[in-house]
Structure 1
């Protein structure tokens, strides 16, 4: 039996990295792998367990077929290692930190994927983005506007679309982890 791809998406600052860190052990106990993505930004600056590479290294890896999924967002390139194919084929569930804008392409390649949209109250989101100090105020405003476009605008993700589950992360992280585990179990 093939494993399932769990595609975690949400705005910058929604707590995806915190959720992945907090859920790592309970997911491992359920034989679910959390994949370390490749990104064109130094690992020290990321704030997530990712593999930082240069744009040139990324392009070489992409040309060599190193990624099952890859996309560009916010001026960076992101890749999900091709290793997920082997894990899925072996029956393991695989959780990746994906992109809202790339969801249609990911669904095309993995039609049975479970998309989990991490949501957060807009005021909490703004607070988190300011607190992490990674972007300038204009960059934060652009990210907040991008979030509005994905939730209300022309490119909005439909909550009633195929296998898109909303997961609120406005409260304590342990509650979000419990809800994530329940979602994976039920889906």
Structure 2
């Protein structure tokens, strides 16, 4: 494939949707498209440009081979459609909102994938999750504990690029655009 796949991941509440939305147009200028996810909960698409479907519809699409990548997380199903492969073959770069738990599978399918981890300080993440109001304080504590486990599992020589989104969103957007530019190679438009 001629295009590069950028795989953005991070804990819930880290600001992935905000980062993607703020970077969408500048990414297009770098020949990089943002993939829409198919998700089995329409409420999840609030704040995200996603396609909400029922679990039955998701299963039907998955059995029909509609997804390049698919995974389950937090009781939901997520899919990235085959359109991604068409874009990559045509030389366009693609950014996906992925999952830390699915990174290994994604890297096996796309060996040149560029993994990007959006991080946020725990105290900032806790405040964002509380403000969002989707989870109880106990569920938030469980999320923070899972996040700590993920940090502990990663080795210091991990190929994952980290972007801190604890402060001003513009700083994270600039870091993302710089990383895409550095890894995308020459523009093929």
**Shorter-chain TM-score: what band?**
over 0.9
Q: Report the CA distance shift for 1:182/1:159 in structure 2 as closer, same or farther (over 3 A).
A: farther
Residue number in structure 2 paired with 1:175: 171
User: Contact conserved, 2:3 with 2:91, CA < 8 A, in 1?
Assistant: yes
**Alpha-carbon distance, 1:50 to partner:** 0.8
Q: Which runs of 5+ in 2 are unaligned?
A: 184-189
Aligned length: 183
Is residue 2:2 matched to residue 1:5?
A: no
Is residue 2:147 matched to residue 1:115?
A: no
TM-score using structure 1 length: 0.94
Cα separation, 2, equivalents of 1:148 and 1:94: 28
Residue number in structure 2 paired with 1:185: 181
Is residue 2:106 matched to residue 1:101?
A: no
Residue number in structure 1 paired with 2:126: 126
Q: Which runs of 4+ in 1 moved over 6 A?
A: none
Q: Report the CA distance shift for 1:159/1:177 in structure 2 as closer, same or farther (over 3 A).
A: farther
Cα separation, 2, equivalents of 1:115 and 1:130: 28
Cα separation, 2, equivalents of 1:66 and 1:19: 27
Cα separation, 1, equivalents of 2:149 and 2:44: 29
User: Contact conserved, 2:39 with 2:45, CA < 8 A, in 1?
Assistant: no
Q: Which runs of 5+ in 1 are unaligned?
A: none
User: Contact conserved, 2:116 with 2:162, CA < 8 A, in 1?
Assistant: yes
- Root-mean-square deviation (Å): 1.3
Residue number in structure 1 paired with 2:145: 145
**Alpha-carbon distance, 1:138 to partner:** 2.0
Q: Report the CA distance shift for 1:139/1:114 in structure 2 as closer, same or farther (over 3 A).
A: same
Q: Report the CA distance shift for 1:124/1:51 in structure 2 as closer, same or farther (over 3 A).
A: same
User: Contact conserved, 2:67 with 2:79, CA < 8 A, in 1?
Assistant: yes
